[in-house]
Chain A
Amino acid sequence: MKLLRSLMRTARRRSPWVFHANAGSCNGCDIEFLTCLTPRYDMEQLGIRHEGSPRHADIILVSGPVTRTTCEALQTVYGQVPDPKVVVALGSCPTSCNVFAGSPTVVGPLDRVLPVDVYVPGCPPRPDAMIAGLAEAAAILAGDKPRPEHQPGPADPDTADPDTADPDTADPDTIDPLTAEAAGEAGRR
């Protein structure tokens, strides 16, 4: 049993598959992320694979400040990824909204929508930093590193979208995106 558990930990550390979601990014981080696949950085060495389907992924990599139109899609994608999973905020936009802070079309930063485990700030961050972030995410997956405590940010009623939010989730203070119900419901959509 102990052997199996340590095998599973090793496997999770060595085979993190990434799904990349663009939540209104300017495409700078997205292009920079693809650099990680090139010969100079070659993240396949760490077993990282860029997957096309969220069902296959372990890590959700989000770029962009989370606009109103992408918020719900992002939650759906989060529910579609099977447990255990880790959310990585790629760039300054999902970390702090960057230059888009205060915009009426932006719901972010990302930690208001999803529980973020790893932040990779930068505009855009260097590929080395991205790979370091992904390696950290893999360590969290394997249980080598503790997950940071998630505190959903204070709700800003002006930026909550009345059309997409249903009554139960209208107030972000009352919902915890980590709960299994929330994740399962989003996954079935």
Chain B
Amino acid sequence: MTSVRAAVQLLVFPGLGYAVAAGFLMEWMQRKINARLQGRLGPPFYQPFFDVVKLLGKRPVERPPLQGLMMTALPAGAVVATLGAVALLPVVPSGGGFAGDLVLLVGLIELGPLLLVLGGFASRSLWGGLGASREAIMTAAYNLPFLTALIALAHSSGLSLNGAALEGSWPVRVLALLAILICLPAKLHLNPFSIAGAEQEIYAGATTEYDGPRLAMWELAHSLEWVALVGLVAALSLPVTGLGWPVRVLVFLGLSLLVVVLLSATAAATARLKLAQTARWFWLWALVPAASALVLAYAGI
């Protein structure tokens, strides 16, 4: 029974099936909301799906064997790692089988940006390297409040992820959630923190040299990152236990879409900041709620 359950969790919900569909939906929602707020009509809802299918059908440019291998393995690793992170989300109470703790979840979420940095340098393009180094600096900036908030959560409720365990005290959860929400646009390369991708400014950032199926994997990994990070916030803000799992799932989906709307509206309303401004923002202002959560958690409130 546990193996069936683990398989369902990995392949259906919240794993592969849900993650890919929701990833495309969230990507479309972001583009559509952006377009509507600018007074445009925006792309039809199947757009991200057809983008990925089209990229899969393109013939990649020949590369030296080792470089080609790295440029294929790195985005593939990003897809797999992010998919694992989505499957670990504490939506339904875990019954053993495929289970992990918060450390594994954070590790898998962080693997995506890390592989993007490696991928940017592996492509040996000037713009790829520039985008990758920007991404690396961004990671250092936003991970300080992000990890502080998660440590506060873990201290108040434990590291395990089996649904009920993420219920620490409310003040800690709210403050930690606020800090994580502030970090999300940076992790998803959205305005005002779209510095690493910086479309048209440094071409396409770390993915400048990626073409065809290799680019499709980065696009897919990015969609899955949406599901993983938005899902993390939704799972952390799930109110109260005691509800049956269907209700939990529905509330989870509703909260996920709400976070997407919030992030997209913020992205449409803001312009890109500079790298130094971003670092200052995260190390000063985003750290305030994160550090307060940490203090409250250690004070036992």
Chain A residues with a Cβ under 8 A of chain B: 7-8, 10-12, 14-15, 38-39, 42, 44-45, 47, 49-53, 55-56, 58, 80, 82-84, 184, 187-188
A11-B50, A47-B51, A53-B203 in contact; A42/B58 too (CB < 8 A)?
Answer: no
Nearest 9 Cβ contacts at the A-B interface: A11-B53, A52-B203, A39-B39, A55-B211, A11-B54, A42-B40, A11-B50, A53-B204, A15-B54
Separation of A53 and B215 alpha carbons in the complex (Å): 11
Most chain A CB inside 10 Å of its own CB: which residue of B43, B54, B58, B127? B54
Most chain A CB inside 10 Å of its own CB: which residue of B38, B61, B202? B61
A84, B58: Cβ atoms closer than 8 Å = yes
Most chain B CB inside 10 Å of its own CB: which residue of A8, A15, A58? A15
**Residues of B contacting A38 in the complex (Cβ-Cβ under 8 angstroms):** 40
**Residues of A contacting B202 in the complex (Cβ-Cβ under 8 angstroms):** 52
Separation of A188 and B50 alpha carbons in the complex (Å): 28
A44, B204: Cβ atoms closer than 8 Å = no
**Residues of A contacting B38 in the complex (Cβ-Cβ under 8 angstroms):** 39
Task: List, sorted by A's number, 6 A–B pairs whose CB atoms are closer than 8 Å.
Answer: A15-B54, A47-B47, A53-B207, A56-B215, A58-B54, A83-B58
Question: Which residues 210-233 of B have a CB within 8 angstroms of A?
Answer: 210-212, 215
Partner of B208, one of A12, A47, A55: A55
B204, A56: Cβ atoms closer than 8 Å = yes
**Residues of A contacting B43 in the complex (Cβ-Cβ under 8 angstroms):** 44-45, 47
Shortest beta-carbon distance, A152 to chain B, in Å? 23
B47, A15: Cβ atoms closer than 8 Å = yes
A45-B44, A55-B215, A56-B204 in contact; A80/B61 too (CB < 8 A)?
Answer: yes
B47, A51: Cβ atoms closer than 8 Å = no
Closest to A79 in B: B61
**Contact pattern, B 25-52, Cβ under 8 Å of A = 1, otherwise 0:** 0000001000100111111101100110
Shortest beta-carbon distance, A186 to chain B, in Å? 10
Separation of A11 and B62 alpha carbons in the complex (Å): 23
Partner of A55, one of B53, B62, B210: B210
**Residues of A contacting B135 in the complex (Cβ-Cβ under 8 angstroms):** none
A42-B35, A82-B60 in contact; A52/B50 too (CB < 8 A)?
Answer: no
B61, A82: Cβ atoms closer than 8 Å = yes
**Contact pattern, B 163-203, Cβ under 8 Å of A = 1, otherwise 0:** 00000000000000000000000000000000000011011
B212, A82: Cβ atoms closer than 8 Å = yes
Separation of A8 and B200 alpha carbons in the complex (Å): 28
B35, A44: Cβ atoms closer than 8 Å = yes
B246 at the A/B interface (Cβ < 8 Å)? no
Separation of A58 and B208 alpha carbons in the complex (Å): 15
Separation of A55 and B61 alpha carbons in the complex (Å): 9
B209, A12: Cβ atoms closer than 8 Å = no
**Residues of A contacting B65 in the complex (Cβ-Cβ under 8 angstroms):** none
B57 at the A/B interface (Cβ < 8 Å)? yes
Partner of B42, one of A11, A44, A55: A44
Separation of A7 and B46 alpha carbons in the complex (Å): 12
Shortest beta-carbon distance, A86 to chain B, in Å? 13
**Residues of A contacting B199 in the complex (Cβ-Cβ under 8 angstroms):** 52
**Residues of A contacting B47 in the complex (Cβ-Cβ under 8 angstroms):** 14-15, 47
B42, A45: Cβ atoms closer than 8 Å = yes
Separation of A180 and B12 alpha carbons in the complex (Å): 43
Shortest beta-carbon distance, B215 to chain A, in Å? 6
